Amino acid sequence: MNSQQIASKVALFKQIYIPYPPHTAFHEQCEYLVQLGRATRGEPQNGMRALAESGSGKTAAVKAFIRQFLRKTPRTADCVPIVFITLDQTATSKQLMTSILEHFGDRYSSRGTEQSLKMRVKACFERFHTDLLFIDEVQHLNYRRSERSDVTDGLKRLLDDGVVPIVFLGTEEANDLFTRNVQLSSRLISPCDFKTLDLRLPEDRALLAGYVALIDQAMVEKGIFQDLSDLDDPSVLVCLHAISKGVIGRVSRLLLIALQIALKRGATRIERYDLALAVDQWALPSGLTATNPFLRDPSDLSPRKGAA
C-alpha cells in the first residue's frame, strides 16, 4: 500500500466519531445550557465546567457538539450560534475580548480601550444571537495574578449581565479556580468533568470495551480494514488501559499509530504486533508509559502468518 492510500485511510479513521457515553452526557448538558439561556435571555446566565486530563477527547467532544448544533442552527451573516475561544498562558481580559471579536469577524478587534472592547463584545453576542460561549484552557486562569483575575471577572460579568451561557473547559489543574472562586462557582450548574477509567469498576470496563469495539466496527464499515481487530479482547483492554491510564483520547491516538503500522505492512486488521510497535514508537517516547504491556507475551511479537 502506497503513501497516498495509507493517508486516505488515515483520513477516514479521523472522521470516525464514537458516541462515547460521557461525551454524550456532556452534549446533553450543553444543550440544556442553550435552552436555559434562551428561556432566561436578559437575566443572569449559568455556566458549566468540564475538566479532564489532557488527551481525554474533550476537544473532540466539543467539536462534535458544535458540528451537530450548527446543522440545526447554522451560522449565517446575522447569526453566530456558538463561539469557541482558546486562552493562552498570557491571557488578559483585553486579549480575550479581542479573540471574541475576531470570532465575530470584527476587522478592528484590537482597536479601542478594554472597556470599549467589552461593550462591543456584549453587543456582538446580542446582535448575532449567540447561544453558547466555550472557553478552553481555563487552567491558565488558575493564578492569583491580577491579569488572570480580570479575565475571570470579565467572564463572570457576561454571565451576570445575561449575555451568554459559558462552558469552561480545561485540565484538572483548573479545579482550584472553581473551588477557590465561590462567586464563579455559584453561577455554574453541576460539573461535567471527564474522569479517567478504572478497570476495577465494571461500568468503566464496559465503557472502554464498548468504545474500542465501535471503533473496530467503524474501521471495517469504512473499508479501512477487511477484518475486525478484536480490540475488545480482555487482554488487549488491559494493555490499552495501562498505556492510556484510563484517558480515552490516548486510546484513540494509540490505535491511530497502530493502524498506520498495520496498513504499511498490508495487514487486514490491527494485531497485537502493531499495538506493541505503536507503544514503542509513540507511547514510550511521549512518556506515557515506562514499559510496553503488549510485549509480555512473546508469542504475540510477530504478525499473523501471511499478514505481513
pLDDT in tens, 104-117: 999 888 888 888 99
Choosing from 137, 154, 185, the residue where a domain stops is: 185
pLDDT of 146 reads 54
26, 174: one domain: yes
CA dihedral 291, 202, 206, 235 (to 10 degrees): 40
Same domain as 165, residue 217: no
Whether residue 193 is contained in a domain is answered as no
Closest to 193 in 3D by CA, of 164, 227, 170, 161: 170
Say if CB 258 and CB 274 are below 8 A apart.
Answer: yes
User: Is 2 inside any structural domain?
Assistant: no
Choose one of 134, 152, 185: the last residue of a domain. Answer: 185
Residue 98 and residue 41 share a domain = yes
Same domain as 276, residue 241: yes
Q: Quick check: is 146 in a domain?
A: yes
Neighbours of 71 (CB within 10 A): 8
Of 29-38, 150-159, 201-210, 273-282, the poorest mean pLDDT is in 150-159
The answer to the question of residue 5 being in a domain is: no
What's the mean pLDDT in 146-152? 65
Res 298 pLDDT > 80: no
Domain that holds residue 85: 21-185
Residue 192 located in a structural domain: no
Least confident range of 97-101, 175-179, 199-203, 259-263: 175-179
Last residue of a domain, which of 185, 214, 234? 185
Band of the pLDDT at 154, cuts 50, 70, 90? confident
pLDDT > 50? residue 201 = yes
Q: Is residue 8 part of a domain?
A: no
Residue 77 domain flag: yes
Would the pLDDT of 144 be above 80? no
39-85 confidence digits (pLDDT tens): 999 899 999 999 999 888 888 899 999 999 999 999 999 999 999 99
**203 in the same domain as 176:** no
Give the pLDDT of residue 306. 44
Same domain as 278, residue 166:
no
pLDDT in tens, 252-282: 999 999 999 999 999 999 999 999 999 999 9
Distance CA 118, CA 101 (A): 9
Is 148 a residue whose pLDDT tops 60?
A: no
- Are 180 and 205 in the same domain? no
Give me the pLDDT at residue 296, please: 74
How many structural domains is the chain composed of?
A: 2
For residue 305, the model assigns a pLDDT of 46
Same domain, residue pair 169 and 87? yes
Q: Considering Cα of 259, then 264, then 265, then 266, what sign does the dihedral take?
A: positive
Per DSSP, the residues of the chain read --HHHHHHHHHHHHH-----HHHHHHHHHHHHHHHHHHHTTTSPP-EEEEE--TTSSHHHHHHHHHHHHHHHS--BTTB--EEEEE--TT--HHHHHHHHHHHTT-TTTT-S-HHHHHHHHHHHHHHTT--EEEEE-GGGG-S-SHHHHHHHHHHHHHHHTT---EEEEE-GGGHHHHHH-HHHHTTB-S----PPP-TTSHHHHHHHHHHHHHHHHHHHHTTS-SS---TT-HHHHHHHHHHHTT-HHHHHHHHHHHHHHHHHTT-SS--HHHHHHHIIIIITTTTS-SS-GGGSSGGGSSPPTTT-
